[in-house]
Amino acid sequence: MSPYDAADTIAAISTPIGEAGIGIVRLSGPAAQTIARRIFRPHPTWQSHRLYLGRVVDPQGEIIDEVLLSFMRAPHTYTREDVVEINCHSGYGVLRRILDLALAQGARLARPGEFTLRAFLSGRLDLTQAEAVLEVIHSRTETNLKVAAAHLHGALGRRIGQVRQDLLDLLARVEAALDFPEEAGELPTAPLRAGLEAQAGALEALDATYEAGRLLKEGLLAVIAGRPNVGKSSLLNRLLDLERAIVTEIPGTTRDLIEESITLGGVVVRFSDTAGLRPAQDRVEELGIARTRERLQQADLVLYLVEAGSPLTGEDDAALAALAGRPGLLVINKIDLAPDLPDAAFPQFEAWPRLAISAKTGQGLAALKQAIVDQALGGGLKVQGEMITQARHHRHLAQGLDCLGRARELLDGGQEPPWELVALELVAAIRELGEITGEEVGEAILDRIFGQFCLGK
Ligand SMILES: Nc1nc2c(ncn2[C@@H]2O[C@H](COP(=O)(O)OP(=O)(O)OP(=O)(O)O)[C@@H](O)[C@H]2O)c(=O)[nH]1
Ligand SMILES: [Mg+2]
């Protein structure tokens, strides 16, 4: 039996497990109505897309819960199959009993993401939309949700589908010339070349949104580093508006990574407060500093803290040399004590914007937050409906672009281009785009994508 056998009727608890006002058990498949009728009283004639008040009862007639049941007849449902949703009280005992009754009456427990998988397999959603379901669920900011919602609406799938269709048209012309050289006549290279360029341009423009899209989806890791006692933990606390990390006047207070997230400019920023950089004085500190260095390697943005009034040391120089070429901000803290650093002290930091703050008084914090957003997103986040947020999409776009690049090289090569090879590159590019939208995608990939979903979605 294929794992995607739609003859099964599947059931799952679709709401989080916990005590709450309402929980939902969902059924989808050909027997959804039959199964629901066996466990629900009374028995009206069910009309599609109506809600029914009644009780779930077990085979002995014992009442399990008073519920609202909705029945939605195929094909106008999430899965395009018959769907029943039972809204009951949300306690694990109740939800579990109702699910067990449905299973006992012939439903099979749904795998994670199987409802959405069915929506995809039935053609109701393309793969970008199915992936967007997860994006919507995981959205933590308004901006993130905006893009995810546009993807769920099909904006990205349509854009990629359009390019794919145009490439299919180009391919048809090449193949006609290959198959029927007499009728098709000589293939004009120039318009083909122009067509390829236009499609490659469209894909490049899409792929260029990935950097911002990835940050939007995954958030940004900003690592606060610097020598001991410069005020790293104070800055973290100030940013969070919470006494999260221990602050003392003793250098070497923070030994481990302390991480918390906030939203800045529509992006979730994860701040990592770290152990101060200096020659370690004991084993614990040594391990802490090793973690600092490791986290610095992963940072999307470094906030390097120094103290106003005191010049940079060899420790700072070494740390900053190791971070050369990385995105970062030089943050001069404690300006309530001294005006700034002596300018001569940091000729090597020109690449990084320099900001003066006081973690103690809050001075300069708004500008710092703005600088973090600007620096990370290159002047702010340009949000659009067709934005690449998934590594998977980025990978297939890049591979598709490689194929189109090779096809263009073949066209430029000599007198008569090797048309068979051009066609092969086109086919490969079309396949890459089909992997994104799901027209050409293997079971293993589907398993991986839908395996990330929660049960009941
Ligand atoms: N006046 C003043 N004092 C500050 C400021 N920021 C931090 N301090 C003080 O500096 C000392 C060290 O602050 P921390 O935040 O613990 O410094 P840290 O960089 O986390 O230090 P380690 O964890 O040891 O690496 C504390 O006494 C703070 O109160 C500031 O902006 N102005
Ligand atoms: Mg600290």
The values of phi and psi at residue 49, to 5°, are 60, 40
Mean pLDDT lowest among 83-97, 273-287, 392-406, 441-455: 441-455
Nearest atom (ligand 1) to Cα of 249: 27
| Number of other residues whose CB lies within 10 A of the CB of residue 55 | 16
The closest residue, in CA terms, to atom 27 on ligand 1 is 249
H or E segment and range at residue 330: strand 328-333
pTM: 0.78
Q: In 105-243, which ranges are continuous DSSP H helix?
A: 114-121, 127-138, 142-152, 155-179, 181-184, 189-207, 210-218, 232-240
* pLDDT score of 1: 35
Say how many Å lie between the CA of residue 452 and the centre of ligand 1. Answer: 42
- Is the domain of 165 the same as that of 235? no
Ligand nearest to the CA of 229: 1
CA–CA distances in Å: residue 1 to residues 4, 5, 6, 281: 8, 7, 10, 63
Q: Report residue 211 CA to chain centroid gap.
A: 12
The token duo for 275 is 């152990």
Q: How far is the CA of 25 from the centre of ligand 1 (A)?
A: 52
Give the count of beta carbons closer than 10 Å to the beta carbon of residue 151: 26
Q: Which of 53-62, 232-241, 252-261, 313-322 has the lowest average pLDDT?
A: 313-322
Domain boundary at 69, 95, 125, which? 125
Q: What is the count of structural domains for the chain?
A: 3
Rounded Cα–Cα distance for residues 408 and 425 (Å): 9
Atom of ligand 1 nearest to the CA of 273: 20
- For residue 112, what are the domain limits? 10-125
Say what the pLDDT of residue 346 is. Answer: 60
Q: Do residues 231 and 305 make contact, with C-beta atoms less than 8 angstroms apart?
A: yes
Smallest CA separation from ligand 1 atom 32, residue: 334
436, amino acid identity: I
Query: Do 263 and 370 fall into the same domain?
Result: yes
Would you place residue 57 in the very low, low, confident or very high pLDDT band (cuts 50, 70, 90)? very high
Q: For residue 41, is pLDDT > 60?
A: yes
The predicted pLDDT at position 408 comes to: 93
Which are the contacts of 93, defined by CB distance < 8 A and separation ≥ 6? none
The distance of Cα 415 from the centroid of its chain, to the nearest Å, equals: 46
Distance between CA atoms of 234 and 249, rounded to whole angstroms? 11
Site to probe by mutation for ligand 1, drawn from 247, 282, 313 as the one with most ligand atoms within 8 Å of Cβ, is 247
Which one is predicted more confidently, 296 or 448? 296
Tell whether the model's pLDDT for residue 375 goes beyond 90: no
Among residues 377, 407, 428, which one ends one of the domains? 377
Per-residue model confidence as pLDDT tens digits over 125-151: 999 999 999 999 888 888 889 999 999
Alpha helices in 55-140 (DSSP H): 92-104, 114-121, 127-138
For residue 260, is pLDDT > 80? yes
Query: Containing H/E element for 372?
Result: helix 365-377
Among protein residues, the one whose CA lies closest to atom 11 of ligand 1: 249
How many A from CA of 309 to the centre of ligand 2?
A: 19
pLDDT band at residue 386 under the 50/70/90 scheme? confident
Of ligand 1's listed atoms, the one at least distance from the Cα of 358 is 31
Query: Is the pLDDT assigned to residue 350 strictly greater than 80?
Result: no
- For ligand 1, the distance from its centroid to the CA atom of residue 92, given in whole angstroms, is 47
347 has a pLDDT exceeding 70: no
The verdict on 287 and 421 lying in the same domain is no
The verdict on 194 and 333 lying in the same domain is no
Task: Give bridge partners of residue 83 from the DSSP assignment.
Answer: 28, 72
Measured from CB, residues less than 6 Å from any atom of ligand 1 are 228-234, 247-249, 251-254, 276, 333-334, 336-337, 358-360
CATH number at residue 144: 1.20.120.430
Please check whether residues 339 and 427 belong to one and the same domain. no
Whether residue 444 lies inside any domain: the answer is no
Give the CATH number for residue 101: 3.30.1360.120
Q: Does residue 449 form part of some domain?
A: no
Residue 455 inside a domain? The answer is no
What is the reported pLDDT for 384? 76
Mean pLDDT within 243-272 = 94
26 vs 19: CA distance, rounded Å: 18
Residues 369 and 248 reside in one and the same domain: yes
SS3 call for 440 = coil
Closest ligand 1 atom to Cα of 250:
24
Residue ID of nearest Cα to ligand 1 atom 24: 252
214-219 mean pLDDT: 86
- Please tell me the distance from the alpha carbon of residue 372 to that of residue 176, in angstroms, as a whole number: 54
Tell whether 35 and 151 lie within a shared domain: no
pLDDT tens figures, 307-337: 998 888 889 989 988 998 889 999 999 999 9
Residues 226 and 364 reside in one and the same domain: yes
> Which residue's CA is minimally distant from atom 6 of ligand 1?
231
Considering only CA atoms, which of 315, 293, 355, 309 is closest in space to residue 227?
Answer: 315
In a domain, 1, yes or no: no
Cα distances (angstroms) measured from residue 67 to each of 77, 94, 226: 20, 11, 58
Where is average pLDDT lowest: 192-201, 315-324, 389-398? Answer: 315-324
| Last residue in a domain, options 342, 377, 412 | 377
pLDDT at position 215 is: 86
Ligand 1 pocket test, candidate residues 224, 227, 234, 237, most atoms within 8 A of CB: 234
Residue 338 DSSP one-character state: S
Residue 442 to residue 148: CA distance in whole angstroms: 24
Count CA atoms closer than 13 A to 100's CA, side-chain side. Answer: 10
What is the CA(258)–ligand 2 centre distance, in A?
A: 9
Distance between CA atoms of 288 and 280, rounded to whole angstroms?
9
Question: Domain check: are 334 and 399 in the same one?
Answer: no
Q: How far is the CA of 265 from the centre of ligand 1 (A)?
A: 27
